[in-house]
């Protein structure tokens, strides 16, 4: 691995804020600050040097796998394109939110296995991990999920339950057709499948207990998704889920934080000025100390932009806003080797032009992973 020096930039150094200093990288790690060094030099004059972004929940990769309903592409090709997008947007650690559902098609057990196999087979620069979005009614796939967790192929478990919502939407022909199309089925067949799945509601609590126990045994972080009440959050916390992912009401998020949980919301919510579903504002909740982590959700470019937008709003400075996409998610996931710029940490860095907010370069694990036109290198 080539040693490297990042020179002349303004570096975010935790509590010290933005400091003019150089960074020396050796063997993929930050070796020194404001020191010398041999090897390649990346000229960061006029640029901000910030910790690499840690994305705990991103499912935009699904659009590379299936850009249109029923139109599928090879998973290795989809993941290669996804990795390029991640690195171009400064994301150096990505938890792919892979939904393991009873639905055929994009979120099926077959798609799950293909994605995990492709991740295992590839050589990736971005640290791409698996965030298992476990659909509560997917009882037939429980043993498979448990096996993959035991094998170390899963890195974060989230409790999902979209089945009641799907069942309600099937009454609308237009909305129902979206789900049937994603599954590659005709509407009557999909309706019959959904009805069979719903009939097993009584088996769901025991399955949740079983998969939670496996995650606890593995020391795996857990999240609950779309908590709509404080009671729901309390239940999942009792299972060991200390991450509250996309709470549907601000009161739920406030109670989660009061109990010491992390609260995840989506960066697109900040960039667009509000939730596309009409739920709580991520920017307002972050400023109130309720949202502690921002994720890409469904749009990778939103993460870096959200931090700058929060800083512009005036409650946060950029240093504090950036912790929502670097230090805080790393801590929530138990990743102690990244999220900040310090000696001994992984050399995961993003260089940004503060005027244009354009990402000039991304360094992942000490390797130059993305370099935009105009970025300056010296041998």
At residue 275, the pLDDT reads 75
Matching residue, tokens 């919510």: 269
Q: CB-based burial of residue 29 (10 Å sphere; 0-12 exposed, 13-18 middle, 19+ buried)?
A: middle
The domain locations on the chain are 4-50+340-378, 52-161+210-332
CB atoms within 10 A of CB 186: 11
- With contact defined as beta carbons under 8 Å apart, do 208 and 227 qualify? no
In this prediction, residue 181 carries a pLDDT of: 86
- The half-sphere exposure of 205 on its side-chain side, counting CA atoms within 13 A, is 4
- Residue 331 CA to residue 260 CA, distance in Å, equals 13
Residue 1 scores a pLDDT above 80: no
| pLDDT at residue 39 is higher than 80 | no
Q: Mind listing the pLDDT tens digit for each residue in 258-267?
A: 999 999 999 9
The pTM assigned to this predicted structure is: 0.94
Which of 51-60, 118-127, 274-283 shows the lowest mean pLDDT across its residues?
A: 274-283
Region 70-76: mean pLDDT is 93
pLDDT computed for residue 56 by the predictor? 98
Question: What average pLDDT does the segment 224-241 reach?
Answer: 97
Residues 64-80, mean pLDDT to the nearest whole number: 93
Other CB atoms within 10 A of residue 370 CB: 24
Residue-wise pLDDT tens digits, 183-228: 888 999 999 999 999 999 999 999 999 999 999 999 999 999 999 9
CATH 2.30.40.10 at 4-50+340-378, yes or no: yes
DSSP 197: H
Band of the pLDDT at 374, cuts 50, 70, 90? low
Task: Tell me how far apart the alpha carbons of residues 288 and 321 are, in angstroms, rounded to a whole number.
Answer: 13
User: Is the per-residue pLDDT at 37 higher than 80?
Assistant: no
Count Cβ neighbours within 10 Å for each residue of 112-146 and write b for 16 or more, e otherwise.
Answer: bbbbbebbeeeebbbbbbbbbbbbbbbeebbeebb
pLDDT at 281: 86
Tell me which CATH code domain 52-161+210-332 carries.
3.20.20.140
């Amino acid at each position: 691995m080539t040693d490297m020096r990042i020179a002349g930039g303004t570096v975010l150094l935790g509590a010290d804020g933005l400091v003019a200093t150089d960074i020396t990288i050796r063997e993929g790690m930050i070796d020194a600050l404001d020191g010398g060094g041999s090897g390649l030099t990346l000229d960061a004059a006029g640029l901000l040097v910030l910790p690499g972004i840690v994305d705990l929940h991103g499912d935009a990769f699904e659009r590379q796998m299936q850009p249109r309903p029923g139109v599928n592409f090879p998973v290795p090709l989809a993941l290669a394109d996804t990795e390029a997008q991640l690195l171009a947007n400064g994301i150096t650690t990505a938890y792919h939110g892979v939904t393991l559902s009873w639905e055929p098609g994009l979120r099926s057990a077959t798609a799950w296995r293909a994605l995990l196999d492709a991740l295992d087979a590839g050589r990736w620069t971005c640290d791409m991990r698996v965030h298992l979005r476990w659909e509560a009614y997917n009882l037939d796939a429980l043993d498979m999920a448990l096996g993959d967790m035991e094998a170390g192929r899963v890195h974060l478990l989230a409790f999902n339950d979209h089945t009641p919502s799907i069942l309600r939407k099937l009454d609308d022909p237009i909305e129902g057709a979206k789900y049937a199309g994603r599954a590659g089925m005709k509407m009557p067949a999909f309706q019959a499948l959904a009805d069979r799945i719903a009939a097993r509601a009584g088996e769901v609590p025991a399955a949740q207990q079983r998969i939670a126990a496996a995650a606890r045994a593995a020391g795996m972080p857990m999240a609950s998704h779309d908590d709509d009440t404080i009671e729901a959050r309390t239940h999942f916390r009792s299972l060991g889920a200390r991450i509250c992912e996309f709470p549907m009401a601000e009161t739920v998020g406030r109670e989660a934080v009061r109990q010491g949980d992390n609260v995840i919301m989506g960066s697109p919510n900040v960039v667009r000025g509000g939730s596309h579903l009409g739920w709580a504002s991520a920017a307002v909740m972050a400023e109130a100390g309720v949202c502690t982590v921002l994720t890409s959700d469904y749009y990778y470019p939103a993460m870096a932009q959200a931090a700058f937008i929060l800083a512009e709003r005036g409650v946060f400075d950029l240093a504090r806003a950036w912790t929502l996409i670097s230090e805080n998610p790393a801590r929530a996931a138990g990743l102690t080797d990244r999220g900040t710029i310090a000696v001994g940490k992984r050399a995961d860095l993003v260089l940004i032009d503060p005027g244009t907010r354009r990402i000039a370069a991304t360094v992942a694990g000490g390797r130059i992973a993305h370099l935009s036109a105009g970025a300056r290198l010296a041998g």
